Amino acid sequence: MFKVATWNVNSVRARLEHLKRWLKKQNPDVVCLQETKTLDKDFPYLEIESLGYHVAHAGGPGRNGVAIVAKEPPKDIQIGFPALEDKEAKERLIAATVKGVRIHSVYVPNGGRDEEAFLYKLEFLFRLREYLEAHFSPKDLLLLDGDFNIAPEPQDVWDPELLEGQVCFHPREKEALRLLLSWGLYDVYRLKHPCESGAYTWWDYQFGAFKANRGMRLDHIFISLPLVSSLREAYIDREPRGWKRPSDHTPLWAVFEL
């Protein structure tokens, strides 16, 4: 069994005790982290390695930052889009091979600040699609883990009528995500829970949103077709969102029989 997770920790240093507690409890083979919010030199490598993990990290100064944390040493680590000038991608995309699967930790821009940020979000999604086309075949063992900052369908947000057109649930974002997935990617959560609503991975810190389950499903594990038949389970672990001083996101994991 091969257990793969994704978690936007909203600062790996602020969330170190949560991360350690969760790794011990869930024992994943791989966890992709987003928003580590730290430079490489300040990543808590020793604390994570002492739990039996290896770390590949691509950091930023106090913002962004992605990592692949794995029991097997991640091989062929690649940061950002190869041969493409994109200043933030070096803090938003890291890839490595684990157990023969090309794994990506992705942090898609939020895009809610202003028009420029929104366009950069769309551009980033188009670049991801181009990157897949240039470097992979849909027949490869491919996995994209991350905070995509997009809720794909109405059942992925707590109030689709209210939120329609807002950031993370805007038609142009949903369209860009569909275009990305149309390359040949499948949403593990929807494969296993096709009709479920109210299953979210993010809740606002304000408004008592978690308590009222007013959230959005923004974090995803997308896989290529050859992995679909190996998928055994997909689960959103809401528990860490209820711990003291939590990340605003909670982990999602999937189990494969490889």
Q: Which is nearer to DNA, 168 or 255 (CB)?
A: 168
Strand partners, 54: 70
Work out whether 218 is an interface residue with DNA (CB under 7 A): yes
Among 112, 138, 198, 242, indicate the residue that binds DNA (CB under 7 A): 112
Distance CA 226, CA 68 (A): 22
Q: Which is nearer to DNA, 29 or 35 (CB)?
A: 35
Binding of DNA by 117 (CB under 7 A) = yes
Q: With CB under 7 A as the rule, give the number of residues binding DNA.
A: 36
**Partner residues linked to 32 by β-bridges:** 6, 68
Distances (CA, A) of 15 to 8, 12, 158, 190, 247: 10, 5, 26, 28, 7
CA separation for the pair 183, 217 (Å, rounded): 21
Contact pick of 7, 81, 131, 202 for DNA (by CB under 7 A): 202
Assess 207 for contact with DNA (CB under 7 A): yes
> Which of 130-143 are b and which e, b meaning 16 or more Cβ less than 10 Å from the residue's Cβ?
ebbeeeeeeebbbb
Token pair listed for 152: 């794909």
Question: Which residues between 45 and 74 bind DNA (CB under 7 A)?
Answer: 61-63
Kindly list the residues in this chain that would bind DNA in the complex (CB under 7 A): 8, 10-11, 13-14, 35, 37-38, 61-63, 109-110, 112-113, 117, 147, 149, 159, 162, 167-168, 202, 204-209, 212, 214, 216, 218, 245, 248-249
